[in-house]
Structure 1
């Protein structure tokens, strides 16, 4: 086993195209953390990642002697390590609800996003695209109840949703401009205009919207 060089600053090995890496980058930007972000090819991982992460996966966050390799764990770690601004509610019940929302996003939506992006099974990808579109439109009205997802403040739940919603053009999903969808479209605009979100974007991610606009 090789010797891993200890870093003096926090390092984030990020897949520039992955929504799982993107969610962590949003948290880092929201917190204003000084971090060395290294865009990494998931098919050609540096030795350091392989040494620190038993799953040889991205994203991987390194903070001195600590290595984290699960995005939800990273987000909560960063929220506790850098408490301001808080991205989880203070009270236990509300914190539990936020964690449950994140769990549901992963169970209900993330696997659909992954199936569409993977694209190896065209029939499965098309079904996932329809299921994700239908699900988004079904819950669209609840985004009109509060500025952010079920909350007055921006939270980790929004950090998980924003990368998915930003990728809708890449996923082949175009939400209709209807009264039902308007609360969701307004929510998306609020997310995308946040300075932390803009700062979190890689060039690859910016091109997703640029390409969609040029096609339109």
Structure 2
């Protein structure tokens, strides 16, 4: 009996979902995908909840098996489809790839998310916005310096070939590029230029560009008070908002009921 085609609960703008699409495409695994209706609104999404009670993407459906979290999904794909491995063979290189992924999925993702909250959702304006964006730019620079050490004189973060570590980095660096916070002449900027030539990367970021163009003029109104929509503030994102000067944004959002925390929610 033929195996069922993989199905991905997806959003083109999610860096986590981009990682999974990149891995599927690099491995040559066919899949279908769909953006769950109401994603990110804080409202019930029964179909997505079957795969992920946190109502976040990506979530992967393989027949009757459902999993969520990009790290878990990538590990599953490596184990089920070993014919084209993405992780390097050397144990130290594999551990390095996973450490890079951890930093990018937490601290780096939170910075990019925070920038969108300011520039897209307009949670801050004036001097506060300027100060928070200045903090974000400084933080990005620190992470890039850390990444440059890991890249060293290699062509790719994964070593001689594009792989897992590169997939873990490129969604975040590309978003920084779109925010005009990437030094294109730096080792990270030159690395991005190289990997953008790969078909999997091109396709994934063309999807991002299409989605961004559709939402850029309306995103600022999605989470206005009274819409009933609530943006999720969780873990490293919440930490970034507070440490970068946005504590009042959080408390105002709670009063306006247009932010929320992760599943399961409190009172």
Pairwise TM-score range, normalised by the shorter structure: 0.7 to 0.9
Say yes or no: does 1:205 pair with 2:209: yes
Shift, 1:81, TM fit = 1.4
Which stretches of structure 1, 4 residues or longer, exceed 6 Å deviation after superposition? none
Say yes or no: does 1:131 pair with 2:135: no
The 1-side partners of 2:110 and 2:55 are apart by 20
Shift, 1:160, TM fit = 1.5
If you compute each CA radius of gyration, which structure gives the higher value, 1 or 2?
2
Change (3 A) 1:145 1:76: same
3-state SS, counterpart of residue 50 of structure 2: helix
Return the TM-score normalized by structure 2. Answer: 0.65
The 1-side partners of 2:145 and 2:89 are apart by 30
The 1-side partners of 2:210 and 2:102 are apart by 27
Moved more, 21-30 or 114-123: 114-123
Contact 1:116 1:126 in 2 (8 A): no
Return the TM-score normalized by structure 1. Answer: 0.79
Aligned twin of 1:3: none
Q: CA RMSD in A?
A: 2.7
The 1-side partners of 2:47 and 2:112 are apart by 29
The 2-side partners of 1:63 and 1:80 are apart by 14
Aligned twin of 1:89: 88
3-state SS, counterpart of residue 67 of structure 1: strand
Give the count of matched residue pairs: 199
Aligned twin of 2:194: 190
Contact 2:112 2:176 in 1 (8 A): no
Change (3 A) 1:45 1:34: farther
Counterpart selection for 1:22 from 14, 18, 24: 18
3-state SS, counterpart of residue 68 of structure 1: strand
The 1-side partners of 2:105 and 2:28 are apart by 26
Change (3 A) 1:79 1:33: same
Shift, 1:57, TM fit = 1.2
Aligned twin of 2:167: 159
Aligned twin of 1:68: 67
